[in-house]
């Protein structure tokens, strides 16, 4: 298979393994992890115990590690690090347009559309199609076939036109009857027997026009096939539903128990994990130069005690939800938490109440300025047609086997996963659980919750087998409020709206620690120093004003009264929304942890509908 090289990209959400992208010389698909090459020497490993514990438990492999993508370099001695990409699709469209042919075999007038010949890679010479003496330019076809298990391949154009019973072997043409590009105006025709078929037939949900999937996985190499029982669906390779990266992220939390633990954690994957099962191995570990240097001056007794704590903690990381550990760290930052140093991973301090209090700050009990934070994001897999993100607790769903859409693996055998480290800043708002719970029990909120739950139930009927549960009115309220606050802050803090992100904490009462807990984190982060410029923390010192502004803007939407009166129901295009649309609440999907789902403005502030379910007073 022909292949070319590309420099590594850290945008795992967009250009991870299995994603399609256009290059000047054609369209390619990014290779799987088996085709990522690193420079000779130490690998760029990422250390994050909580994330590694989750991933090792998920894949049931104790040796999984995290690596950053191969760095781009012009150093000729670096061994050409990079990521291999494969040419895809393998079918092309001749750029020269011909007039469409009518039933009588004569060319139709120019305004009746054009047709272009479809040619496979095998008929090209030096990237061009030789039509007699003429050399025709070609472009990759925008139409491919895929299934809901992530498999991908070229359409069998002869079989599509002739009904999978063989074909006449004559050239196949793609005819466009108008300039709209709509599938109903696109036909595939055979120049030999004259048979034709509308491409719209392959786009209908449940259609079997493209036949059964052959299990191709071109991102893993030429012969990477697996058995598949699905029927292929038509996919436009540049469409937004062609690739959804499945990722898991955690925020690095400082260890408050012992400074020795921080050293042991750094050396855990370097060999100290062995000491947890065999304490006598510590003597041998101290002979390794890297470990010996870091453990110098620390008595064996302290190292063994730390190893025991961390071994117990790794098991605890697997059992406890991702967000639960994070919430406890933020909520405990009553004065100061972490270390205020340039290369630190976490530093937060509480903002005095006199600086943020106000009559509209209902339910807020504390505001934490997060001066420094480190977020580690790992790509697990990817899906096509529909996303499979984390649940409201930050955990990956465990119901893929019961869902029609399943994640596709990014390697033949997963031994490591790609990850990125983002450093940034943020602001954390702690909410009084008693106030939130009292509000949730009011008649108006109960009525509103039943309304939006009906929309969720409708969505669930369209996704049989899903174990997704209704998050409840408090989550809807906090999530919508976070969107409104991000929009208000982005206009002032210097960061664009797409660079701000959210984490919503609506912890269940059954979680260890007891009682329900609520909070929101608005943060920004990048792989370089631009994530810690201080603009967001400085804006957070005036958080009361931004909350006031957010509530004021939310009370009226440009699409009211339609937006405010929206009630999810059967055949609704937004069954997981209440009063929410692009004119008021929706933000860039890179900013939202739930891809702009579970939103209702009426639970935050009074709208023109006046349903009485708002949490905050009208500013």
How would residue 401 be classed by pLDDT, with cut points 50, 70 and 90? very low
The residue with greater pLDDT, 239 or 134, is: 239
In whole angstroms, give the CA distance from residue 476 to residue 478. 6
Is the four-CA dihedral 480, 484, 487, 490 of positive or negative sign? negative
In whole angstroms, give the CA distance from residue 107 to residue 109. 7
By three-state DSSP, how is residue 247 classified? strand
How would residue 7 be classed by pLDDT, with cut points 50, 70 and 90? very low
How would residue 402 be classed by pLDDT, with cut points 50, 70 and 90? very low
pLDDT at 312: 63
Each residue's pLDDT tens digit, 15-38: 688 899 888 778 899 999 988 988
Mean pLDDT of 112-129: 84
The residue with greater pLDDT, 584 or 272, is: 584
In whole angstroms, give the CA distance from residue 385 to residue 463. 13
Torsion angle of C-alpha atoms 73, 415, 273, 338, degrees rounded to 10: 50
DSSP letters, 145-210, are EE-TTS-EE---HHHHHHTSS------EEEEESSSS--GGGEEEEETTT--EEETHHHHSTT--TT
| Sequence-ordered list of residues with C-beta below 8 angstroms from that of 610, at least 6 positions apart, any chain | none
Each residue's pLDDT tens digit, 575-601: 899 999 999 999 988 889 888 999 999
Backbone angles phi, psi at 4, to 5 degrees: -140, 175
The residue with greater pLDDT, 577 or 79, is: 577
The residue with greater pLDDT, 399 or 193, is: 193
pLDDT at 3: 39
How would residue 456 be classed by pLDDT, with cut points 50, 70 and 90? very high
pLDDT at 348: 86
In whole angstroms, give the CA distance from residue 258 to residue 238. 50
Across 18-32, 122-136, 377-391, least confident range: 122-136
pLDDT at 219: 93
| Sequence-ordered list of residues with C-beta below 8 angstroms from that of 528, at least 6 positions apart, any chain | 423
pLDDT at 254: 67
Rounded to 10 deg, the angle between the 322-331 and 49-59 helix axes is 160
Residue 387 token pair: 């996303």
Each residue's pLDDT tens digit, 168-211: 778 888 888 877 778 888 888 888 787 888 888 888 777 888 88
- Mean pLDDT (the chain) is 82
Highest mean pLDDT among 43-52, 63-72, 303-312, 538-547: 538-547
Across 3-17, 99-113, 396-410, 503-517, least confident range: 3-17
How would residue 1 be classed by pLDDT, with cut points 50, 70 and 90? very low
Q: Are 168 and 255 in contact (CB under 8 A)?
A: no
Percent share of the chain, pLDDT over 70: 86
Whether the predicted pLDDT of 5 surpasses 50:
no
Mean pLDDT of 487-499: 81
Across 259-268, 354-363, 533-542, 602-611, least confident range: 259-268
Whether the predicted pLDDT of 2 surpasses 60:
no
Determine the number of helices (DSSP H) and then strands (DSSP E) in the chain. 15, 26
Question: What is the C-alpha R_g of the chain?
Answer: 28
pLDDT at 552: 92
3-state SS, 107-138, equals: ECCHHHCEEEEEEEHHHEECCEEEECCEEECE
Whether the predicted pLDDT of 279 surpasses 70:
yes
- CA distance readout (Å), 236 to 140, 243, 268: 12, 11, 45
What are the start-end ranges of the H helices in 378-442? 433-440
pLDDT at 263: 73
Each residue's pLDDT tens digit, 316-371: 556 677 888 788 878 776 676 666 666 677 888 888 988 898 889 988 999 999 88
Mean pLDDT of 267-273: 74
Rounded to 10 deg, the angle between the 433-440 and 473-490 helix axes is 120
pLDDT at 358: 86
pLDDT at 444: 95
Sort 544 into a burial class: Cβ within 10 Å, 0-12 / 13-18 / 19+: middle
Whether the pTM exceeds 0.85: the reply is no
Residue from 151, 8, 2 nearest 88 by CA: 2
Mean pLDDT of 275-296: 80
Percent share of the chain, pLDDT over 90: 23
Sort 231 into a burial class: Cβ within 10 Å, 0-12 / 13-18 / 19+: middle
pLDDT at 255: 55
pLDDT at 50: 83
């Amino acid at each position: 298979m022909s292949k070319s090289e590309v420099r590594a990209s850290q945008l795992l959400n967009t250009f991870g393994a299995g994603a399609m992208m256009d290059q000047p010389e054609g369209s390619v698909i990014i290779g799987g992890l088996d085709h990522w090459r690193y420079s000779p020497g130490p690998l760029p490993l990422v250390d994050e115990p909580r994330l590694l514990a989750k991933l090792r438990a998920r894949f049931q492999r104790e040796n999984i590690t995290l690596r950053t993508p191969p760095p781009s370099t012009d150093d000729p001695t670096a061994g050409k690090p990079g990521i291999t990409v494969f040419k895809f699709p393998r079918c092309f469209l001749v750029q020269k347009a011909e007039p469409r042919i009518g039933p009588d075999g004569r060319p139709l007038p120019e305004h009746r559309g054009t047709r272009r010949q479809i040619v496979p890679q095998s008929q090209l010479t030096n990237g061009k199609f030789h039509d007699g003496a003429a050399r025709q330019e070609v472009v990759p076809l925008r139409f491919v076939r895929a299934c809901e298990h992530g498999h991908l391949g070229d359409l069998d154009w002869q079989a599509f036109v002739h009904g999978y019973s063989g074909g006449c072997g004559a050239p196949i043409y793609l005819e466009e009857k108008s300039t709209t590009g709509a599938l109903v105006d696109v036909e595939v025709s055979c120049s030999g027997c004259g048979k034709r078929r509308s491409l719209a037939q392959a786009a209908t949900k449940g259609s079997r026009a493209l036949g059964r999937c052959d299990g191709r996985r071109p991102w893993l190499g030429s012969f990477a096939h697996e058995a598949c029982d699905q029927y292929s669906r038509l996919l436009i390779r540049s469409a937004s539903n062609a690739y959804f990266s499945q990722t898991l992220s955690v925020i690095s939390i400082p260890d408050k128990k012992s400074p020795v633990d921080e050293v042991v954690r750094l050396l855990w994957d370097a060999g100290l994990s062995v000491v947890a099962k065999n304490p006598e191995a510590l003597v041998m570990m101290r002979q390794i130069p890297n470990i010996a240097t870091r453990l110098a001056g620390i008595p064996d007794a302290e190292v063994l005690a730390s190893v025991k704590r961390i071994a117990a903690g790794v098991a605890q990381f697997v059992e406890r939800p991702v967000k639960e550990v994070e919430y406890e760290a933020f909520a405990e930052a009553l004065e100061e938490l972490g270390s205020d140093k340039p290369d630190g991973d976490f530093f937060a301090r509480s903002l005095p109440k006199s600086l943020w209090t106000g009559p509209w700050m209902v339910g807020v009990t504390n505001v934490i300025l997060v001066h420094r934070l480190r977020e580690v994001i790992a790509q697990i897999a990817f899906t096509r047609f529909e996303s499979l993100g984390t649940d409201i607790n930050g955990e990956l769903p465990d119901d893929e086997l019961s869902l029609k859409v399943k994640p596709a693996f990014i390697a033949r055998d997963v031994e490591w996963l790609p990850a990125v480290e983002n450093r940034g800043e943020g602001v954390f708002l702690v909410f009084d659980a008693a106030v939130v719970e009292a509000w949730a029990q009011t008649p108006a909120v109960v009525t509103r919750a039943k309304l939006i739950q009906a929309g969720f139930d409708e969505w669930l009927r369209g996704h049989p087998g899903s174990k997704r549960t209704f998050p409840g009115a408090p989550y809807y309220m906090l999530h919508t409020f976070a969107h409104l606050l991000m929009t208000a802050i982005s206009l002032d803090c210097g960061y664009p709206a797409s660079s701000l992100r959210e984490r919503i904490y609506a912890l269940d009462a059954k979680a260890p620690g007891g009682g329900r807990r609520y909070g929101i984190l608005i943060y920004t982060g990048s792989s370089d120093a631009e994530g810690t410029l201080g603009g967001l923390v400085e804006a957070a010192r005036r958080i009361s004003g931004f909350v006031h502004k957010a509530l004021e803007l939310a009370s009226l939407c440009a699409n009211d009264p339609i937006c405010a009166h929206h009630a999810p129901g059967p055949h609704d295009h937004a069954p997981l929304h209440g009063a929410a649309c692009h004119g008021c609440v929706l933000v860039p999907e890179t900013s939202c942890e739930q891809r702009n789902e579970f939103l209702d403005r009426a639970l935050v502030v009074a709208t023109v509908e006046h349903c009485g379910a708002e949490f905050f007073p009208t500013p």
